[in-house]
Structure 1
Amino acid sequence: MEVCPYLEETFKVIGRSWNGLILNYLSRCDERAAHFSDMKRDLKRITPRALSLKLTELSDWGLVEKKVVTTTPLSVEYHLTHKGYELAEALVPLEEWAQRNVELEENHS
C-alpha cells in the first residue's frame, strides 16, 4: 500500500519547523493577518531570520501573502491566503488531539 501523495506533500509543508505554528498564529489574528514584529514578539523562540525565511517559504507555497501598507512609516503585513486558511483549519483537530494527549514541559512558555 502506498502513502497518499497529497498527504505526503502536505507534511512537507507543515512538517518543517515553525510552518504549522505560523499558520496557526495567523489564523487566530484579526483578519488572519499580522505584522512581522507581532509574530516575532509572540512566537518567542523563533529568530528574526528564521521567521523571515519561513514566511517566504509559506508565501512560495501560496499559503501566506505579504502586503505592504503605504502608511508613514511603511508597514508590512502577512495574511493567510484562502488556501492557507483552509490548511490552518484542517490543523484544528490535530491541535485538539494535542491538547488532550500531549504533556508540556514545566518551563514551556
Structure 2
Amino acid sequence: MKKRSYTCGLDAAVDVVGGKWKALILWALHSGPRRFGELRKDVPGISEKVLILQLREMEHCGLVHREVYREVPPKVEYSMTDFGQSLNEALIPLGEWGEKHRETIEAIPAA
C-alpha cells in the first residue's frame, strides 16, 4: 500500500473531508448517533447511493463509527469517532465564515 504524501496540513485535511457531502454528514452527526434514514433527512439533496459511499469512505478513514445492532429488522447507527469530532471542531470556523459571507457568496453568478 502506497503511503500518502502531502504538501501541508491543509492538503491532508482537504483529502480527508474533500467533496460536497462529508462535512455536511459530519455536521449532521455532531449532536449524536444517527440512523441512515435520519442522515438522509439531515443532509438534503444527497442521494442514497452517495450517502452510502460517503459513509463507507468516512468509516474507512476513521471519521465515523458504524454500529450494527443484531435485531429484526436490522438497526444500524452512525456516530462520529474522536477523530471525526476533532475534524468537525476544525470545520466550525469555516461554517461561521460561510454564514458571515453567505449573501456575498450567494450573489456570485454560477460558473
Pick the TM interval, shorter chain. Answer: 0.7 to 0.9
Structure 2: gaps spanning 5 or more residues: 1-5, 107-111
Match for residue 79 of structure 1? 79
Question: Is 2:21 the counterpart of 1:18?
Answer: yes
Match for residue 59 of structure 2? 59
Match for residue 70 of structure 2? 70
SS of 1:9's partner is helix
Shift of 1:71: 3.2
Q: Partners in 2 of 1:95 and 1:71 — Cα distance?
A: 37
User: TM-score by structure 2 length?
Assistant: 0.81
Task: Please list the CA deviations of residues 19-54 of structure 1 after superposition, one character each: whole Å capped at 9, or x if unmatched.
Answer: 111111101x2xx21000001122120000000000
Aligned length: 100
Task: Please list the CA deviations of residues 78-101 of structure 1 after superposition, one character each: whole Å capped at 9, or x if unmatched.
Answer: 010000001001111111111111
User: TM-score by structure 1 length?
Assistant: 0.83
Q: Partners in 1 of 2:99 and 2:41 — Cα distance?
A: 23
Structure 1: gaps spanning 5 or more residues: none
Identity %: 35
Q: Partners in 1 of 2:97 and 2:44 — Cα distance?
A: 23
Note the aligned Cα RMSD (angstroms): 1.7
